[in-house]
């Protein structure tokens, strides 16, 4: 069984994001980039499924500029078998990504697609659901546990009321939550080997998909800094502050 894992190159989660002076977007100059953390969890889960004998091949795919090759090689160093880059300089929106992934799925014929529930740069949380709809596949979102057996996927997902368990026939789309696993560290020998491995590079035109942006960013602003807190000596003073200044009571 083949597993397809889409991954995205994003600003590293440890970096404090800066807005461009003209407010047109985020400043990416000399900024550390890495694999989206939720996608890293998806790669780890796919590799664990292979180690348990539930799958036979893990294929990772990324979309963007040539710089995404570095992210793909990180996945190869973790243990993925093959990597595909859909090369484009267009800022891809979730629907465009889902359409491109559909074509990759039709080409690769995987029985399972595992991807992060969202990317930390836009927090859209849309691609997995859109892909499932385009493929007409069952989906399990926000997975905190995944088991594959007998041509079915058993997904435990976290909901407001607790845990929900779904049984999905394969093929299916799964999106990962933080508590699904803890990704492994890549070793130096594997990193060196991954740098030498070939990548399959495709163009958007090869997939016959319209990826023209449908949204326009009007303005990007940094969040307002929080005001400094104050200390109060008594409960009565606290209540007064909440009533007169915060106006919450």
Give tens-digit pLDDT for 86-144: 999 888 899 999 999 999 999 999 999 999 999 988 888 999 999 999 999 999 999 99
In whole angstroms, what is the distance from residue 139 CA to residue 173 CA?
A: 5
Q: What is the pLDDT of residues 57-81, one digit of tens each?
A: 999 999 998 889 999 999 999 999 9
Q: Output the pLDDT for position 116.
A: 92
Q: How many of the other CB atoms lie within 10 Å of CB of 82?
A: 19
> Considering the entire predicted model, what is its pTM?
0.84
Q: Output the pLDDT for position 211.
A: 87
Report domain extents, the chain: 2-246
Q: What is the pLDDT of residues 172-189, one digit of tens each?
A: 999 999 889 999 988 888
Cβ atoms of 62 and 72 within 8 Å: the answer is yes
In whole angstroms, what is the distance from residue 199 CA to residue 243 CA?
A: 62
Query: Is pLDDT at 26 greater than 90 in this prediction?
Result: no
Which CATH architecture group holds 2-246? 3-Layer(aba) Sandwich (3.40)
* Mean pLDDT along residues 208-218: 85
Q: Output the pLDDT for position 243.
A: 85
Percent of the chain's residues with pLDDT above 90 = 53
């Amino acid at each position: 069984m083949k597993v397809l894992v889409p991954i995205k190159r994003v600003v590293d989660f440890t970096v404090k994001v800066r807005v461009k002076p003209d407010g047109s977007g985020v400043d990416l100059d000399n900024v550390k980039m890495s694999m989206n953390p939720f996608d890293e969890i998806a790669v780890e889960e796919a590799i664990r499924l292979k180690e348990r004998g539930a799958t036979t091949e893990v294929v990772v795919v990324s979309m963007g500029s040539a710089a995404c090759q570095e992210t793909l090689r990180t996945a190869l160093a973790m243990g993925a078998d093959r990597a595909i880059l859909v090369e484009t300089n267009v800022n891809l929106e979730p629907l465009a990504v889902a359409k491109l992934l559909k074509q990759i799925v039709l080409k690769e014929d995987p029985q399972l697609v595992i991807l992060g529930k969202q990317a930390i740069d836009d927090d859209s949380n849309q691609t997995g659901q859109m892909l499932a709809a385009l493929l007409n596949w069952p989906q399990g979102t926000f997975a905190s546990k995944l088991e594959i057996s007998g041509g079915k996927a058993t997904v435990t997902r976290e909901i407001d009321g607790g845990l929900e368990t779904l049984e999905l026939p394969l093929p299916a789309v799964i999106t990962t939550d933080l508590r699904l696993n803890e990704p492994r560290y890549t070793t130096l020998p594997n990193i060196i080997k991954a740098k030498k491995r070939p990548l399959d590079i495709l163009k958007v035109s090869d997939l016959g998909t319209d990826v023209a942006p449908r949204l326009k960013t009007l303005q990007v602003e940094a969040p307002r800094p929080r005001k400094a807190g104050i200390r109060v000596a008594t409960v009565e003073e606290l209540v007064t502050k909440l009533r007169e200044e915060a106006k919450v009571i």
